[in-house]
Amino acid sequence: MGHAARLVEIWRGPILESQHRGHAVICDARGEIRSAWGDPDLVFLPRSASKMLQALPLVETGAAAHFGLRPEQLALACASHNGAAIHTSRVVEWRDNLGLSDDDFRCGAHEPKDIDARNELIRAGKAPCQVHNNCSGKHVGFLTVTKHLGAGPEYVDPEHPLQKAVREAFEEMTGMDSPGYAIDGCSAPNFATTLHGMAWAMAKMAAGATGSDSRNLASARLVAAMARHPDLVAGEGRSCTNLMRAMGGAASVKTGAEAVFVAILPGPGLGIAVKIEDGTTRAAEAVITALLVREGMLEADAPVVRQYTYGPITNWRGIETGHMRVLI
């Protein structure tokens, strides 16, 4: 990853202890870069930050309308959720309404991140199932499109009609042919693009409400669903939820593994994409928060801004030992 910019410093007392380098782009819906740090042409995997793009066929094929999906279900289709009861109960209801079972998912099972849900499974002596997977909302969305199209069950196969539709939407939104893909943690293909392309895609989603074609309408519905249900996009204690709540629906944000973060700003019609070189989440959270302040989405003195851009860093006794500093 060449040409990375120094974006975040970690201080312990008066000593600079570590630094995080990375890349960030702010783009408008015409594809023009407003500001950039590092390399806008960096090719990267957006990971779960691409879920809104992966959800476009859910609306554009008519599947969402056919099955009467509500905004909360569209929010879950874009989510990396905690596996709390508010998430899994909705996924189960949606799955059951499709006449499907846990065996129809292809995301795999893992313990829920939500402590209460995890403890409940332990007390009951039960193993987690696939609805506890943080990507189960995306996957039940995939299954909805698959059923609507009458396609085969292996919906994560890159040659499946669903994934072909996802790739087409992804490439049209990013403005470039994807140079390839890798398999994500939930077994779905994750298409690569440039940081500029991803920021442009987010800007197009931000401008969705200003147009009337099917892509604009689908983008606007997904963005509005995320803004309306920040608790479903991630969960309690998570940065996506905390930041969207603090912005009161003015913008939608989404994290991705390996320190990716994107933002959709409908007011100014901008998109933001961030990638931290070393894959550290705290740095991606710090940078996206600072950029939201820069674009007027958050007040600089808001508690959530201090939390993600400064800290403070404390030890196990609660003693302040250091802080973060964002260099943008």
Neighbouring C-beta atoms of residue 282, cutoff 10 Å:
17
Beta strands in 233-281 (DSSP E): 252-256, 260-265, 270-276
Q: Which residues of the chain have pLDDT under 50?
A: none
Q: Which residues of 229-266 are buried (b: 16+ CB within 10 A; e: fewer)?
A: bbbbbbbeebbbbbbbebbeebbbbbbbbbbbbbbbbb
Average pLDDT, the chain: 97
pLDDT of residue 208: 84
**The predicted structure's pLDDT at residue 1:** 56
Domain architecture of the chain: domains with CATH: 5-326 (3.40.710)
The predicted pLDDT at position 139 comes to: 98
- pLDDT, position 126: 96
- The pLDDT tens digits of the residues spanning 36-90 come to 999 999 999 999 999 999 999 999 999 999 999 999 999 999 999 999 999 999 9
At residue 127, the pLDDT reads 97
Whether the Cβ atoms of residue 80 and residue 234 lie closer than 8 Å to each other = yes
pLDDT for position 284:
98
d(CA 259, CA 131): 24
Return d(Cα 222, Cα 228) in angstroms, integer.
Answer: 10
From CA 221, how far away is CA 56, in angstroms rounded?
A: 10
Angstrom distances, CA of residue 305 to CA of 156, 239, 302: 37, 11, 5
Please give the C-alpha separations between residue 289 and each of 148, 275, 282, 326, in angstroms, as whole numbers: 38, 13, 11, 10
Q: Are 286 and 9 contacting, i.e. CB atoms less than 8 angstroms apart?
A: no
Give the separation between CA 285 and CA 178, rounded to whole angstroms.
26
* pLDDT, position 4: 97
Ranges of H-type helices in 63-131: 63-66, 71-77, 85-97, 115-124
- Residue written as tokens 């065996």? 103
**What is the Cα–Cα distance from 95 to 118, expressed in whole angstroms?**
21
